[in-house]
Amino acid sequence: MTSRRRVLAVIGSTAIGWPLALRAQRPAAIPRIGYLSVGSPQTNAAFLGALKDALRDLGYVEGKNIAFDVEWAGGRAYDFPQLAASVVRRNPNAIVTTCIPSTRAAKQATATIPVVMSVDGDPVATGLVASLAHPGANITGSSTLFEVLIPKWLELIRLAAPQAKRIGILRNPENMVDPYFWALSEEAAKRSGVVVVPVEARVRPDLDGAFATMRKQNADALVVMTEAFLAGQADLIVPLALRHRLPAIYGFREFVEAGGLMSYGLSYRDYYKGVARYVDAVLKGAKPANLPVEQPTKIELVVNLPAAHELGLKLSPQLLARADRVIE
């Protein structure tokens, strides 16, 4: 009898201990990040890749201690409300948005899940946040105002290539802000006395044809718009510009680091390091309402002298004096 009681006691205590042991061994749920973007993995992966790299630098490794729920809208802004609602139903720890329409959709879909925006535009004027210093509610993040750089791009490329009268504008018509940026380019061209030539590329195979079109239209120089698809094509765009002997200016420093002539703007990889810091902060419990919206404080002019030499350009002392960085 004693032996039987002991066996039952051991079995009972073991059975009670099993759930506790199983709970102890069960891994804690890793944080999940919703991500809302235009385009597709084939066209807009550059910015998502930059975000993942920046989060990895902060110790977040995809599949190990962080996961992503990514929703792509293609070129259809009207899909964002449905996509945002789908992401919210999965109850992520935070949502990263990449444009004003996706941020607005996330704001309408949830008032509690932190939303970290990375948008081009004015988040105050568009009603996304109450102010930059005190965004309020559940949205914070960073924003750029690339549209204000368009006149500078035209001015600087003409300093590099004074003979340029017809300037190609390489753009992606799938981008939601493209019509607005093109209108600003036309206005800036009229003020500066040049003609802008629209050239489109939606996918990588389009780029060869885009440069052939610029040659047929007698473009003397090139401005490459700042958007995710084109940002990821520096390895092809830079050699094409040099092969076609087109002086080009870019909004992202990565193009000059890849051998391009000049950039006036920022590094999109550095920019997404800032976005990653916001994600890290909200995952650690910071309230978006208390995190001021960040905007780039320094726009840099970077000039590549070897590229100028390859293009047969002698850059003026005036231009070089304005450069924040000169690659020799």
Q: Please tell me the pTM assigned to this model.
A: 0.88
Question: Does residue 242 sit in the same domain as residue 169?
Answer: yes
- CATH code: domain of residue 208: 3.40.50.2300
Q: Which domain holds residue 132?
A: 32-144+269-290
Question: Does residue 140 sit in the same domain as residue 276?
Answer: yes
Question: Does residue 125 sit in the same domain as residue 164?
Answer: no
Q: Which two tokens mark 203?
A: 């996918």
Question: Does residue 154 sit in the same domain as residue 247?
Answer: yes
Say whether pLDDT at 52 is over 80.
yes
Tell me, what's the pLDDT at 272? 96
Phi-psi region of 39 (alpha: psi -120 to 50; beta: other; left: phi over 0): left
Say whether pLDDT at 174 is over 50.
yes
In whole angstroms, what is the distance from residue 144 CA to residue 266 CA?
A: 10
CA distances to 61, 276, 282 from 92, in Å: 16, 16, 12
Question: Does residue 139 sit in the same domain as residue 198?
Answer: no
Our measurement of the distance from residue 81's CA atom to the centroid of its chain's CA atoms, rounded to an integer in Å, reads 20
24 within a domain of the structure (yes/no)? no
Question: Does residue 276 sit in the same domain as residue 310?
Answer: no
Tell me, what's the pLDDT at 18? 37
Task: Name the average pLDDT for the chain.
Answer: 91
- H helix intervals, the chain: 2-25, 45-57, 80-89, 100-109, 150-160, 178-192, 206-216, 228-231, 234-243, 253-257, 268-283, 305-310, 317-322
Tell me, what's the pLDDT at 75? 80
Higher model confidence: residue 28 or residue 167? 167
- The count of structural domains within the chain is 2
Tell me, what's the pLDDT at 298? 86
Q: What is the pLDDT of residues 226-250, one digit of tens each?
A: 999 999 999 999 999 999 999 999 9
For every residue of 245-256, which 3-state class applies, written as one string?
A: CCCEEEEEHHHH
Give percent above pLDDT 90 in the chain.
85
Tell me, what's the pLDDT at 28? 59
Question: Does residue 168 sit in the same domain as residue 64?
Answer: no
Angle at the Cα of 51 (from 48 to 54), degrees rounded to 5?
Answer: 150
Beta-bridge partner residues of 185: none
Confidence grade of residue 29 (pLDDT, cut at 50, 70, 90): confident
Q: What is the pLDDT of residues 2-19, one digit of tens each?
A: 443 443 333 343 333 434
Rounded average pLDDT over 264-288: 97
Question: Does residue 153 sit in the same domain as residue 261?
Answer: yes
Say whether pLDDT at 172 is over 70.
yes
Say whether pLDDT at 312 is over 90.
yes
70 within a domain of the structure (yes/no)? yes
15 within a domain of the structure (yes/no)? no
Question: Does residue 37 sit in the same domain as residue 103?
Answer: yes
Rounded average pLDDT over 123-147: 95
Confidence grade of residue 140 (pLDDT, cut at 50, 70, 90): very high
Say whether pLDDT at 82 is over 70.
yes
Question: Does residue 151 sit in the same domain as residue 98?
Answer: no
7 within a domain of the structure (yes/no)? no
Tell me, what's the pLDDT at 1? 42
Tell me, what's the pLDDT at 34? 98
Based on its alpha-carbon atoms, the radius of gyration of the chain, rounded to whole angstroms, reads 25
Give percent above pLDDT 70 in the chain.
91
Question: Does residue 189 sit in the same domain as residue 307?
Answer: yes
Question: Does residue 249 sit in the same domain as residue 102?
Answer: no
Say whether pLDDT at 282 is over 70.
yes
